[in-house]
Amino acid sequence: MAKLFRIFDPNRGHFILASSLTIIFGLFLVVQKNWETSALSPHSQPSTAKIPSSRLDQDSRNTKPVAVKQSTESKTVSDVSPTENGTPPQKLDTSTSTNHQAGSPFVSDEVSSVAFQRRDDAFDDDVPATADDLQTMEDFIVEQVPIALASTVAIRASYIQGSGVIVSDDGFVLTAAHVAVKAGQKLDVILSDQREVAGETIFLDSFLDIAIVKLDGPGPWPASPIADNVKLAPGVWCLATGHSGGYFKERPAVVRLGRLIDIKDDYLESDCPLVGGDSGGPLFDMHGRVVGIHSRIGPTVSRNFHAPVVQFKKRWEEIVKTDREPPTQPDSASPPEVVRSPASEPKKPRALLGLFAEDIVRGCRVTEVLANQPADIGGVQLDDVILKIDQTTIINFSHLRELIRKKEPGEKVVLTIERNEQLIEEEVVLGSLETSS
Amino acid sequence: MSAKPWSFALASLGVVILSIIAPFVTANENALDPNLAKNGSVIRYLFTDVTLDACRSTVRILGDGDEIAFGTVIDANGSIITKASELRGQIVCRLKDGRDLPAHVIAEYQPYDLALLQVDAADLTPVKWAAGDDPPVGRWAVTPGLHGAPLAVGIISVPRRAIPVEKAVLGVSIRDTTRGPIVKGVIAESGADKAGIEAGDRILTVAGKQIYSSEHLVEVVRGYEPGTLVKVVYERDTEEIEIEVTLGAPIPSLLHPNSNDDQIARELSRRRADFPAVLQHDSVLQPENCGGPLIDIKGRVIGLNIARAGRTGCYAIPAGEMPGIIAELKKASHAKVSTGVRE
């Protein structure tokens, strides 16, 4: 991104200097890369270590619901119910000695066993490096798929249809904020075994685009753990599941493979192909841990954006802890009394920019400028592309709104705008949004 | 005058350098090198050996000189199957060894959109269909080209299922937004156009069903025959408007209301529905790259790519279906030949 802007930099001298350096560095990288690639296959170590674990039957389409039960020592996967064809429940003991707290779906990345170290290696930056690695990956993926699918749900709310993922066996579901609509929203949640369950949005973070939905009923629900303390890096392999294009009874959630392309504090980018309907669905790492929530489709099929669940951990703990405390009466059919959302914070006059915009690849394009409101007065025009506010890069329109919300009425902000292929800056004095109504 | 060759050399050097640095200039420096992405050259290269056998049974189909499909060799004596609906013009099969052989369409099998081609050859390598059950979800699904690294790699995304008929269209292209499906464009003379739907309208319900996404709209509309009158409720300027729309028949060039943008719409296969059984995989193939074999990590041919179906996936006919389909094609071709009808 920084380099992209450099192209627009009027200071041509720097640009030429920078680009000639880039040329030299680029050539160096290309030469080095080619050299490495050709050296890669013969010299890399063959993956000889065998995986000492029983696997879920790879043979048939084993997408029956499975529950992930967590203990402090290990996680065990077993069939909740016997499958129709009478297959006996299979157990998969991955014994990853995951270090996680009881009652929390977060699992940390401590992996002690040497054998599992090898399995991790199959998903490092530099691998797969051989066809053997590809086979190891496949074994791993086929094993993860039934568990990933069991926890993936479809979510319906008013005009929106999306996906979600159950992350605790007592029925907490993560989805995208734009799927969960608003705090207190009643939703229909369709499980992987086609059960329809009522749910309610109990929390939204529209900045990260993550929401928590609570399923109605005691469970236990088939859940996948949330990744905690996991070091994400570009190149990490991941699986995406979700109800692409909406829920269809005859089709389970669609599974896709990809790699993390880029990691930012507020979003992950991957090349897992996504489409409408996938929103809110989970992005798993190769250990079946939820690392992201599908948020936005990118400019090309191989660029898509996910909300980073790892960033969400702190808030998760606050919310879920307080929500778990009330069930002193075991069958709490009544919804949680306190709905926590940014909207329920104490009211104060909110800052107003006075425009509407649609999300595009970078930033957002202004679709409407309210007459005589701050943006209009400050010189913002229709079709301007807002890239930054006070040097903070805008991801989308809701991000812009979130940033404005943090400002005070009367505050001065600088918008970086692309207009007619030129970068300009407009200074806008924020107005006040009447919230008393 | 001696400056001229120099300037030419400099210019070409410039072009070469620019094309080399282009990815570095536009990409975030912390982001993954595109060559290492799932379908980057480094990853696809790892599958090269795996594809060797299947490459020998893959042909490139040309129509009036353009690449229009891949084909799959089914016997040594010049029988090749390919995707029927992509065929047009003078058909030529380009073999891995470089031969260009004129081809005749001698039979078609509508249910799977397959055509049987005949070329004049007796030394082709027929494909070996994998025996046994379908591959489970998560298995590698690799699309070989004629040479070298495969065209695309992915995994099986959805187990075998039937794809229903794509029956009727409303006549709009849709952009999915966080506010729901918004009309991006209206096809001239379509039912939507005649009923007065305009770009920017937000579709709320069709035939009484709430519409959640562009693909959901397609799913709802395709439940009807062309010519059916359905009620459509949309929102314009915060006002809800109810109208009646006569659904139309799909028009191939305009057919892609479920796409997220026009570019992707052009990248979908013309026929991408109404198949008795398909496997879905997450490779993103251009329509002209369908028709060839789909293989697994062992090089076994697990299916035949039959359609780029949506933004995120392709359909392949499961290998287990192929012997039966080929028998049907051969039967049809004998019938045609015996009555003297050819081409």
CB A91 within 8 A of CB A57: no
Question: What is the C-alpha separation between B231 and B208, in angstroms, rounded?
Answer: 7
Q: From chain B, pick out residues whose CB is under 8 angstroms from the CB of A297.
A: 176, 260, 311
Q: From chain A, pick out residues whose CB is under 8 angstroms from the CB of B24.
A: 3, 22, 25-26, 29
Structure tokens given for A186: 């009643």
3-state secondary structure of A152: strand
Check CB contact of A357 with chain B, cutoff 8 Å. Answer: no
pLDDT of residue A271: 94
Identity of the highest mean pLDDT range in A65-69, A128-132, A191-195:
A191-195
Contact assignment for B24 to A22 by CB distance below 8 Å: yes
DSSP state of A208: T
Number of Cβ within 10 Å of residue A126's Cβ equals 13
Higher-confidence residue of A338 and B81: namely B81
CB B198 within 8 A of CB B185: no
Check CB contact of B214 with chain A, cutoff 8 Å. Answer: yes
* B181 and B228 housed in the same domain: yes
Considering the domain boundaries, does residue B1 fall inside one?
no
Considering CB atoms only, which of A144, A262, A277 is closest to B215?
Answer: A277
Distances in Å between the alpha carbon of A8 and those of A11, A72, A403? 9, 54, 25
- Give B91 to chain A, closest Cα distance, Å: 31
Indicate the burial class of B157 (C-beta count within 10 angstroms; 0-12, 13-18, 19 or more).
Answer: buried
**Type of residue numbered B332:** A
* B212 and B309 housed in the same domain: no
Higher-confidence residue of A248 and A73: namely A248
CB B291 within 8 A of CB B63: no
Question: What is the C-alpha separation between B70 and B62, in angstroms, rounded?
Answer: 9
pLDDT of residue A96: 33
- Total domains present in chain B: 2
Considering the domain boundaries, does residue B38 fall inside one?
no
CB B87 within 8 A of CB B69: yes
CA B164 to chain centre: 17
Averaged pLDDT for residues A93-102:
35
Q: From chain A, pick out residues whose CB is under 8 angstroms from the CB of B283.
A: none
Question: What is the C-alpha separation between B25 and B28, in angstroms, rounded?
Answer: 8
Averaged pLDDT for residues A185-200:
95
Band of pLDDT at residue A68, cut at 50, 70 and 90: very low
CB A321 within 8 A of CB A261: no
Considering the domain boundaries, does residue B282 fall inside one?
yes
Considering the domain boundaries, does residue B140 fall inside one?
yes
CB B73 within 8 A of CB B326: no
ipTM beyond cut 0.95: no
Averaged pLDDT for residues A74-87:
35
Higher-confidence residue of A194 and A432: namely A194
Averaged pLDDT for residues A249-272:
93
Instruction: Transcribe A81-148 into DSSP letters.
Output: S--TT-PPPPEEE--------TT--EE------HHHHHHHHTTSTT---SHHHHHHHHHHHHHHHHHH
Contact assignment for A159 to B26 by CB distance below 8 Å: no
Q: Which residue in B282, B21, B23, B260 sits closest to A259, CA to CA?
A: B282
Q: Is the pLDDT of residue A172 over 70?
A: yes
Band of pLDDT at residue A45, cut at 50, 70 and 90: very low
Contact assignment for B260 to A130 by CB distance below 8 Å: no
* B235 and B280 housed in the same domain: no
Averaged pLDDT for residues A169-190:
92
Phi, psi dihedrals of residue B55, rounded to the nearest 5°: -55, -40
Domain edge (last residue) among B248, B267, B287:
B248
Domain edge (last residue) among B248, B267, B291:
B248
Contact assignment for A128 to B50 by CB distance below 8 Å: no
Least confident piece of the model among A26-35, A167-176, A324-333, A427-436: A26-35
CATH number for the domain spanning B305: value is 2.40.10.120
Least confident piece of the model among A121-130, A228-237, B187-196, B253-262: B253-262
Check CB contact of B137 with chain A, cutoff 8 Å. Answer: yes
Considering the domain boundaries, does residue B180 fall inside one?
yes
pLDDT of residue B339: 53
CB pairs below 8 Å between A and B: how many?
208
Q: From chain A, pick out residues whose CB is under 8 angstroms from the CB of B136.
A: 58-62, 142, 145
Band of pLDDT at residue A41, cut at 50, 70 and 90: very low
CB A148 within 8 A of CB A224: yes
Averaged pLDDT for residues A169-192:
92
Considering the domain boundaries, does residue B124 fall inside one?
yes
Averaged pLDDT for residues A30-46:
32
* B134 and B280 housed in the same domain: yes
Phi, psi dihedrals of residue A150, rounded to the nearest 5°: -65, -35
Phi, psi dihedrals of residue B35, rounded to the nearest 5°: -65, -20
Considering the domain boundaries, does residue B184 fall inside one?
yes
Question: What is the C-alpha separation between B211 and B192, in angstroms, rounded?
Answer: 15
Higher-confidence residue of A372 and A74: namely A372
pLDDT digits (tens), chain B, 343 positions: 444 666 667 666 666 665 655 554 444 568 888 999 999 999 999 999 999 999 999 999 999 999 999 999 999 999 999 999 999 999 999 999 999 999 999 999 999 999 999 999 999 999 999 999 999 999 999 999 999 899 999 999 999 999 987 667 888 888 888 778 899 888 777 889 889 999 999 999 999 998 888 888 888 887 887 778 899 999 999 899 999 998 876 643 332 333 333 344 457 887 888 899 999 999 999 999 999 999 999 999 999 999 998 888 999 999 999 999 999 999 998 876 655 444 4
Higher-confidence residue of A109 and B231: namely B231
DSSP state of A337: S
Residue with tokens 């529905």: B273
Question: What is the C-alpha separation between B169 and B191, in angstroms, rounded?
Answer: 8
CATH number for the domain spanning B215: value is 2.30.42.10
Least confident piece of the model among A158-162, A386-390, A419-423, B268-272: A158-162
- Give B245 to chain A, closest Cα distance, Å: 20
pLDDT of residue A20: 42
Check CB contact of A273 with chain B, cutoff 8 Å. Answer: yes
Q: From chain A, pick out residues whose CB is under 8 angstroms from the CB of B39.
A: 271, 302
* B153 and B109 housed in the same domain: yes
* B81 and B154 housed in the same domain: yes
* B180 and B237 housed in the same domain: yes
Residue with tokens 């060799």: B73
Indicate the burial class of A214 (C-beta count within 10 angstroms; 0-12, 13-18, 19 or more).
Answer: buried
* B185 and B152 housed in the same domain: no
pLDDT of residue B177: 82
Q: From chain B, pick out residues whose CB is under 8 angstroms from the CB of A255.
A: 137-138, 155-158, 282
Domain that holds residue B209: 172-248
Question: What is the C-alpha separation between A417 and A281, in angstroms, rounded?
Answer: 32
Averaged pLDDT for residues A106-114:
38
Sign of the dihedral defined by the CA atoms of residues A296, A298, A302, A308, in that order: negative
* B117 and B198 housed in the same domain: no
pLDDT of residue A92: 31
* B57 and B127 housed in the same domain: yes
SS (H, E, C) chain B: CCHHHHHHHHHHHHHHHHHHHHHHHHCCCCCCCHHHCCCCHHHHHCCHHHHHHHHHCEEEEEECCEEEEEEEECCCCCEEEEEHHHCCCCEEEECCCCCEEEEEEEEEEHHHCEEEEEECCCCCCCCCECCCCCCCCCCEEEECCCCCCCCEEEEEEEEEEEECCCCCECCEEEEEECCEEEEEEECCCCHHHHHCCCCCCEEEEECCEECCCHHHHHHHHCCCCCCCEEEEEEEECCEEEEEEEECECCCHHHCCCCCCCHHHHHCCCCCCCCEEEEEEECCCCCHHHCCCEEECCCCCEEEEEEEECCCCCEEEEEHHHHHHHHHHHHHHHHHHHHCCCCC
Contact assignment for A7 to B25 by CB distance below 8 Å: yes
Spell out where A336-411 has E strands: 350-352, 355-359, 364-369, 385-389, 392-393
A302-321 residues touching B, CB cutoff 8 A: 302
Considering CB atoms only, which of A26, A135, A297 is closest to B260?
Answer: A297
DSSP state of A186: E
* B289 and B155 housed in the same domain: yes
Considering the domain boundaries, does residue B256 fall inside one?
no
Band of pLDDT at residue A428, cut at 50, 70 and 90: very high
Sign of the dihedral defined by the CA atoms of residues B291, B296, B299, B300, in that order: negative
**Type of residue numbered B241:** I
pLDDT of residue B5: 63
* B210 and B311 housed in the same domain: no
CB A72 within 8 A of CB A134: no
- Give B223 to chain A, closest Cα distance, Å: 13
Check CB contact of B277 with chain A, cutoff 8 Å. Answer: no
